[in-house]
């Protein structure tokens, strides 16, 4: 069990650029979540996958954000036309069938300049 | 938006003392979980209490839940310098069905050696 991994750990980009983050959940975890955390706040839910199906999206997820989990394993989160307000830590978590606790990755810290 | 609030926002104690953090939330829940986050890192699951439970223990952790008051407390006994971190409560709302977590803003705990 290698835990949840995220790549990259840090990303600095200029406003208007597109960025893509990757999350590899714990193997055999069928549920995968994306959260966003800004300084001094708790994580906020963005979206949820069960296997390859995206079952819920927060209204925080504007049309510039898209997430995929094509084969029910790793997931990607893409932000198009980044804005300074997108600067945050993006956290991925996974959980196993029947379990309620979530296992978090180390996060990707995005800075938009 | 955040589900609720942790109290206090910051807590500083000496090693060996007990630390108590409180959490209030707004909607009916399936369970409440506590997570720890070391500076700039991912979250680590500590303990989960279900809505039909009132108290739970795990090692030096004790969590209580009062659903009538929509509140929970986390007690860390015999604190250590390594307990220094931010602590978040997270609720799984009854409505929704995705098992997403709704986090508070956290309590920043400092344990002085």
Cα A81 to chain centroid, rounded: 17
Best mutation target among A29, A41, A42 (most B Cβ atoms within 10 Å) is: A42
What pLDDT is recorded for position B4? 66
pLDDT tens-digit readout, B52-65: 999 999 999 999 99
B42/A40 CB distance under 8 A:
no
Q: Please tell me which of the candidates A33, A42, A106 has its beta carbon nearest to residue B105.
A: A42
The answer, yes or no, to whether residue B98 has pLDDT greater than 80, is no
CA pair distance B9, B7, nearest whole angstrom: 5
> Is pLDDT at A97 greater than 90 in this prediction?
no
Cα B66 → chain centroid: 13
Nearest residue in A to B34, CA atom: A101
| Chain A environment of B39 (Cβ under 8 Å) | none
Q: Which two tokens stand for residue B3?
A: 């589900």
CB contact under 8 A, A44 and B2: yes
Residue with tokens 């809505």: B51
The DSSP line for B44-91 is: EEEEEEETT-SEEEETTEEEEEETTTTEEEEEE-S--GGG-EEEEEEE
Measured distance CA(A61)–CA(A57) in Å, rounded: 7
Write the pLDDT tens digit of every residue in A25-78. 999 899 999 999 999 899 999 999 999 999 999 988 889 999 999 988 999 999
């Amino acid at each position: 069990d290698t835990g949840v991994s995220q790549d990259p750990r840090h990303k600095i980009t200029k406003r208007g650029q597109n960025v893509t983050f990757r999350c590899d959940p714990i193997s055999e975890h069928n549920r995968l979540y994306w959260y966003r955390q800004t300084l001094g706040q708790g994580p906020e839910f963005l979206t949820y996958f069960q296997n390859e199906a995206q079952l819920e999206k927060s209204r925080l997820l504007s049309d510039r954000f898209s997430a995929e989990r094509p084969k029910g394993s790793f997931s990607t989160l893409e932000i198009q036309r980044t804005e300074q307000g997108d600067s945050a830590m993006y956290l991925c978590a996974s959980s196993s069938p029947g379990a309620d606790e979530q296992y978090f990755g180390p996060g990707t810290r995005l800075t938009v300049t | 938006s955040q589900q609720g609030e942790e109290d206090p926002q910051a807590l500083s104690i000496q090693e060996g003392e007990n630390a108590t953090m409180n959490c209030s939330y707004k909607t009916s829940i399936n369970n409440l979980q506590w997570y720890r986050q070391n500076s700039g890192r991912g979250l680590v699951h500590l303990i989960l209490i279900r809505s039909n439970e009132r108290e739970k223990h795990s090692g030096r952790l004790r969590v209580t839940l009062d659903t009538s008051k929509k509140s929970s407390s986390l007690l860390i006994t015999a604190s250590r310098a390594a307990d220094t971190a931010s602590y978040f409560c997270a609720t799984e709302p009854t409505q929704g069905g995705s098992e997403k977590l709704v986090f508070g803003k956290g309590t920043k705990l400092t344990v002085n050696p």
